[in-house]
Amino acid sequence: MISTDNTTIMNKDFVKSFLDDPLYIQGIYNYCDRWCKKCTFTSRCAHYKLNAEQFSDPNSKNINNKLFWQKINELFKVTLELINEVIEKENIDMSKYDTKDVSIEIDKRKAEATNSECSVSANDYIDMVNAWFADSEDIVRQSEEMLILDTELEITNGRILANIKELKERLEVIQWYQYQIYLKINRAVEERLSSPEELKDSQSSYNGSAKVALLGIDNSLRAWEYLMFHFTEKEDGILNILVHLGRLRKKIEILFPDARGFIRPGFDEKLTNVMHEYE
């Protein structure tokens, strides 16, 4: 790792130091919902720590800033170096592969995944959520204004404040998973299509992606159920969304019957308590 002009430059050894550190749970970031502020495993996630280290400067997150593109360039460079290292270590002869045929096959799988029943249904859900929020803009805004007002006036009625905060959290849940459900299930279908039949089992990567989609649906359903009782005037629209989302969940569970049983690193396994070693 090199530092110039107060900018930390990422390199292969620096990234590997994170990946090889026993403090971090290997692969935990592959099957999470990316909601880091809600996660209790950030201290053991190499992806989170690496991003915190490399993208702490606000300019590194600004697409119009030079630093953003510098970091993206470094990331691509390191990724390519790590891939080449694996190729060399495993003695893989890349000349055997026709890059054009591989590219065509990848595009074919992507198209098949995008047009799959689950992906189409998940994409329809995105549109349904957008339509509901557009139609319910006034009451959502009123609820948010009530929360701001309560904060400013320091209202001591704990029940009112708790209800408003819960409403805000439920709205955040819906919007957080709105697009992610589609992305995860689309990824799961594509991974399933690319997995050799003899390697398919309950711990196949596609089951992990499908499980994250299912958990996102579970959380979203609970949030919508809460809204249905909170916004009684919007009950019919919310009920339609609940039915659609429930059917999507069933489709995913049929297509990926082992997804619920997938053990995600960290989240679903018993971990030995090693945290004290690093405190």
pLDDT in tens, 6-56: 446 667 777 777 777 888 898 899 999 999 999 999 999 988 888 877 776
In this structure, is residue 226 part of a structural domain? yes
Domain count of the fold of the chain: 2
Count of all residues that appear for the chain in the document: 279
189-215 residue pLDDT tens: 999 998 877 667 888 999 999 999 999
145-175 residue pLDDT tens: 665 555 555 555 556 667 777 888 999 999 9
- Res 46: pLDDT: 86
75-131 residue pLDDT tens: 778 777 777 777 777 677 666 666 666 678 888 889 999 999 999 999 999 999 999
Pick the more confident residue, 3 or 253.
253
Cβ contacts of 2 within 8 Å, gap of 6 or more: 8, 9, 11
Structure tokens at 118: 């689950």
- Mark whether 14 and 70 lie in a shared domain: yes
Contact present, 47 and 31 (Cβ < 8 Å): no
In this structure, is residue 276 part of a structural domain? no
- Mark whether 76 and 147 lie in a shared domain: no
In this structure, is residue 56 part of a structural domain? yes
- Mark whether 129 and 256 lie in a shared domain: yes
Question: Residue 8 carries which DSSP code?
Answer: E
- Mark whether 84 and 145 lie in a shared domain: no
- Mark whether 49 and 122 lie in a shared domain: no
In this structure, is residue 111 part of a structural domain? no
In this structure, is residue 193 part of a structural domain? yes
- Domain boundary among the residues 67, 96, 125 is at 96
CA 110 to each of CA 179, 195, 259: distance values in angstroms, whole numbers, following the listed order:
17, 14, 21
What's the rounded Cα separation, in Å, for the pair 216 and 176?
Answer: 9
In this structure, is residue 25 part of a structural domain? yes
For 179, the domain range is 116-261
Strands (E), the chain: 2-4, 7-9
Do β-strands 2-4 and 7-9 pair in parallel, antiparallel, or remain unpaired?
Answer: antiparallel
For residue 45, which amino acid is it? C
- Mark whether 256 and 144 lie in a shared domain: yes
**β-bridge mates for residue 8, sequence order:** 3
For residue 267, which amino acid is it? F
- Mark whether 30 and 59 lie in a shared domain: yes
